[in-house]
A and B are shown apart, each in its own frame.
Chain A
């Protein structure tokens, strides 16, 4: 039995195989419509989410399976003080696979250590979000054809942005990937990631200037400054409008730039950019569903 807590647990071959399955689902959806007939996915969301939860649910329904779960901690026994371990053991009696989101970092790992069914980390605090990364990887692969030799700009909240941390962890395994980290100084990448990239001799540029970095980028990964990660509202208000991508800022960008965003967007990408062919963030949403379908099949061992 296998879970997915951190993107690094998947080998490059497994990621290739998930991408191949997702591409096959896109081309032949009917072939997959009954693959999970009789199986149940439990979505345990201790923190609000629209996209990820609905994406998991849509993925399971499109595989012919069923879904049960909750969408906030208040409607679960966590509100009564039940531990993650007990919740995981209980849900193992009802479902075949769990997708868990939790505001505390490491909660899905604790669940996987106690569940008797596979657990998928659907986001834990500011730590990891591996299925968003799978969506990002499929999008990059479909847009660029390869992961090698890319200059990847990550912009916004790099401190608490779990999607950023997971994406860096995934892309660092490919050849000649350069990272341009664009953020206000208060929201710089955590020291442990910087430390490990430097240790492995990656080319890393840290800057506060999005426009100056723009012309080098093959991928621009925008993120939202997340209100829920701040203990201090004033600090959030001060930083929330740090980076807003406008058509003017794209003036020097490459013609084949791909703009990604894990969404939800607040105001960090101007809606005028939505019609630019370089905007990939809604494709990314769709790709997320296909990769979650491929992952559910893999973890349930369905051929």
Chain B
């Protein structure tokens, strides 16, 4: 499957197969005016199969969302059709307005203008907890 190469933009590579669409919608890529390609289940030597997203514009990515959904992705920055930077995404220490607290007793359920903030409390098991009530992110 061939997708035109991009001149200036971003390639999100090594996405765990099946997570591409989730990342696409959480990053709100549908709102971009430029060309965006989501490639699903493409063969990968390292991963067996993977998803890839190509964005034909130099946008600012919310790396917190990427790190939370799939911390093993690689972000390639493309300038003049060449990869000028390869970034590994770390698990973010804090997530703001990426996920919502499901605890019915949490203050965020009644004060809906509050930012939804989660903190990484267990890196090994990738556990995030609500800043306000400490409930585990689901």
Binding site for B on A (CB under 8 A): 83-85, 102-107, 109-110, 124-127, 191-192, 195, 199
Contact = CB atoms under 8 A, between A and B. Distances in A.
Contacts of A199: 122
Nearest to B132: A106
A104 B130 contact: no
Given A106-B130, A106-B131, A192-B129, A125 B136 contact: no
B5 interface: no
Contacts, number: 51
The interface centre, meaning the residue of B113, B114, B129, B130 with most chain A CB atoms within 10 A of its CB, is: B114
Given A125-B133, A191-B136, A105 B111 contact: no
Interface string B82-119: 00000000000000000000010111111101100000
Nearest to A126: B105
A155 to B, nearest CB: 23
Interface of B: 103, 105-111, 113-114, 122, 129-136
B62 to A, nearest CB: 23
16 contacts: A84-B107, A103-B105, A104-B107, A104-B111, A105-B133, A105-B135, A106-B108, A106-B131, A106-B133, A107-B107, A107-B132, A109-B132, A110-B111, A125-B133, A191-B136, A192-B136
B132 A110 contact: yes
Given A110-B132, A125-B105, A126-B105, 7 more contacts: A104-B105, A105-B134, A106-B130, A106-B131, A109-B107, A109-B132, A192-B129
A127 B111 contact: no
Nearest to B108: A106
A62 to B, nearest CB: 32
A109 B131 contact: yes
Contact of B107 (A105, A126, A195): A105
Contacts of A124: 107
B134 to A, nearest CB: 6
A195 B105 CA distance: 21
A229 to B, nearest CB: 8
Given A110-B107, A125-B105, A105 B113 contact: no
B111 A84 contact: yes
Given A105-B133, A109-B131, A127-B133, A83 B105 contact: no
The interface centre, meaning the residue of A85, A104, A191 with most chain B CB atoms within 10 A of its CB, is: A104
Contacts of A109: 107, 131-132
The interface centre, meaning the residue of A102, A106, A124 with most chain B CB atoms within 10 A of its CB, is: A106
A83 B106 contact: no
B134 A102 contact: no
A127 B134 contact: yes
B127 to A, nearest CB: 8
B103 to A, nearest CB: 7
A103 B133 CA distance: 12
Nearest to A5: B132
Contacts of B136: 191-192
